[in-house]
Structure 1
């Protein structure tokens, strides 16, 4: 089984990603991993921390001569800001007088709930691990999963569909999403320049008023075959697995597959995707990203029906709440005296929707790669490809 774990704190010495269960023989491109980390750092509305960090992954194990060897893969991403926190957050006892307490919990953050749970006198240690800085490790792990999926012709990318009240009012095409990921400059990760300009105005307004702003990102799995996931058991349904993967990200408060939200207020005839069949001589049948001749005019289901992928692009949306740290803080109470005050302020972002989309790509890639390995097995890439290609031949001939 493909598994991953992360370790590290926001202002600690480094972040760690551990991936196990990868078959041997998967080519590993360190530049691609670092490109993914770079993409996570981009976006209009990011804070000062991203000016300090230049995230790169240092692979310690599990990769030799440019390919996986079947052993656990461990990676370290250094925190450059650690130099400013070395005496504040030492591993050893250190000087307690240098501790930088979070004096009052921030509404919307894990501060208060975490302090109550772990019996901390302030929220410093809660903040350090609950921070979205942790998603850096997920992106590194997800890049490994993406490398595996790419060997099977499957890609996972994201784009932004809404920031505040500004929204992309049309569907994005796969070529547009792919082109967006190749850009060397990222504004808000939207495929439409006019919509992106309106989104940027929403961020500017939040910035001027000392506020923060959320939005919606969309993750697409392109080239996914039909038959991944199952309705047989509740915890094996693909939609549930993907929803949990995306919902686990910091600040995500809702997850949608396809047109899940608007489907609830629509008639069945407006929602369900009519089925047709493409003959051998049709362009749809020749598309290398398609593995079945059954086609749909629409993809309102988001590529998943009955907990199983149906051969269309899998579309997952994450709804991101505004960042909890505000430059004009909300009301709170002090930890020390339980007195009324304003919430603590920590250097933060105004908008992180594009970055959250990249982190969600990683989670979706990891979840989908795990399901593929569970279905097709293989201790080596060659064995996995043989099993996978045999299944693709089967569903193409159906």
Structure 2
């Protein structure tokens, strides 16, 4: 079973993650991990923190001479800003620095201090911060190298920011990837990107923030990953949960998603065809590559909506948790828009789930046996 756990605070010494269940023999290129960490930090509308951090991963266990060993893999991302926060985030000694007592609407601040009985909002906001997602992106970038060996490729792109929509795209993976990497917003349409940037600048001038939508595409996914037999083994369950776990994500859809409400059954479902060379296939993909909780061999299409960031430079009304008096919400150094970063995190989380279900079906002791099992499975499918 593939599993991972992250640890670390936004302004602590480092983010750490431990991954268990990876097969031995997977080639690991550390620069591909660093590339995705860099992608997560970029994007028009990002804040000053991104000018400080230059995220690089350090592998401290589980990889030797560029290959996984089958043992737990530990990844560490050091926070450069820790040098400015050592007193305020010290693990020992008396409290130091100003207490944060003005929770932000839309953030974990107030519910966290109530649940965990804290008197300083910083005890909550440090871990609730989306800085934690850097660790998830590192995990995703690592497992994408396993998926690539199995013929599965994943990319995410931004389709909406602040109500500005980009048109749908139908391109090969390499073209999609090149377009995403070339765009400052991870958007594949240059006209839409220009309008998105204008919307971000307007929000910045108003002390406001913007949300949006990103789409994750997974190509080359074998049919039969996931299962219909239990609710928690369904592939759509796992993917939806993974995307919803990202900070500020408030909705997920698969395929045409909520547009199904506008379609009759005759227009909604993807008709099935068969060809000797292709096997079973569909000419449409309204289902987004998943039927009955299992991948059906078509591209997996996921979308998630990110709400505007709750840290506003023109703060909203709040209540001081110490005095209970009205107060303006706390302002932390923040972004105007981080949908581009969220897309990279969504790409990583989808990759982690697809790796999990791939290993669940085909085994995970070593890469050679895994790829052999996949080949035999493909041969069986082609022989039906």
- TM-score of the aligned structures, taking structure 1 as reference length: 0.94
Of 201, 204, 209 in structure 1, the residue corresponding to residue 201 of structure 2 is 204
Please name the residue that 2:82 is paired with.
Answer: 82
Per-residue displacement from partner, 1:103-131 (whole Å, max 9, x unpaired)? 20000000000000000112101000000
Please name the residue that 1:115 is paired with.
Answer: 113
Please name the residue that 1:66 is paired with.
Answer: 66
Residue 396 (structure 1) shift: 2.3
Of 161, 164, 167 in structure 2, the residue corresponding to residue 169 of structure 1 is 167
Please name the residue that 2:188 is paired with.
Answer: 191
| Preserved contact between residue 172 and residue 191 of structure 1 (Cα < 8 Å) | no
Aligned residues: 383
Please name the residue that 2:14 is paired with.
Answer: 14
Three-state SS of the structure 2 residue aligned to 1:392 is helix
Please name the residue that 2:223 is paired with.
Answer: 226
Residue 158 (structure 1) shift: 0.2
Q: Which runs of 4+ in 1 moved over 6 A?
A: none
Task: Establish whether residue 309 from structure 1 lines up as the match of residue 308 from structure 2.
Answer: no
Query: 203-212 or 242-251: which moved more?
Result: 203-212
Query: 197-206 or 300-309: which moved more?
Result: 197-206
Structure 2: distance between partners of 1:218 and 1:167: 12
Residue 295 (structure 1) shift: 2.0
| Preserved contact between residue 104 and residue 122 of structure 1 (Cα < 8 Å) | no
Please name the residue that 1:289 is paired with.
Answer: none
Structure 1: distance between partners of 2:307 and 2:8: 24
Task: Establish whether residue 45 from structure 1 lines up as the match of residue 31 from structure 2.
Answer: no
Residue 26 (structure 1) shift: 0.2
Structure 1: distance between partners of 2:101 and 2:9: 19
Please name the residue that 1:395 is paired with.
Answer: 381
User: Within 5 Å, which residues of 2 pair with 1:229-268?
Assistant: 229-268=226-265
| Preserved contact between residue 249 and residue 304 of structure 2 (Cα < 8 Å) | yes
Please name the residue that 2:54 is paired with.
Answer: 54
- Structure 2 unaligned residues grouped into runs of 5+: none
Three-state SS of the structure 2 residue aligned to 1:117 is helix
Per-residue displacement from partner, 1:224-269 (whole Å, max 9, x unpaired)? 0101111111111111110001000000001100101111222222
Please name the residue that 2:325 is paired with.
Answer: 339
Residue 100 (structure 1) shift: 3.2
Residue 350 (structure 1) shift: 0.6
Three-state SS of the structure 2 residue aligned to 1:81 is helix
| Preserved contact between residue 251 and residue 321 of structure 1 (Cα < 8 Å) | yes
| Preserved contact between residue 273 and residue 300 of structure 1 (Cα < 8 Å) | yes
- Structure 1 unaligned residues grouped into runs of 5+: 286-292
| Preserved contact between residue 100 and residue 124 of structure 1 (Cα < 8 Å) | no
Residue 181 (structure 1) shift: 4.1
- TM-score of the aligned structures, taking structure 2 as reference length: 0.97
User: Within 5 Å, which residues of 2 pair with 1:319-338?
Assistant: 319-338=305-324
User: Within 5 Å, which residues of 2 pair with 1:376-387?
Assistant: 376-387=362-373
Please name the residue that 2:347 is paired with.
Answer: 361
Structure 2: distance between partners of 1:122 and 1:215: 31
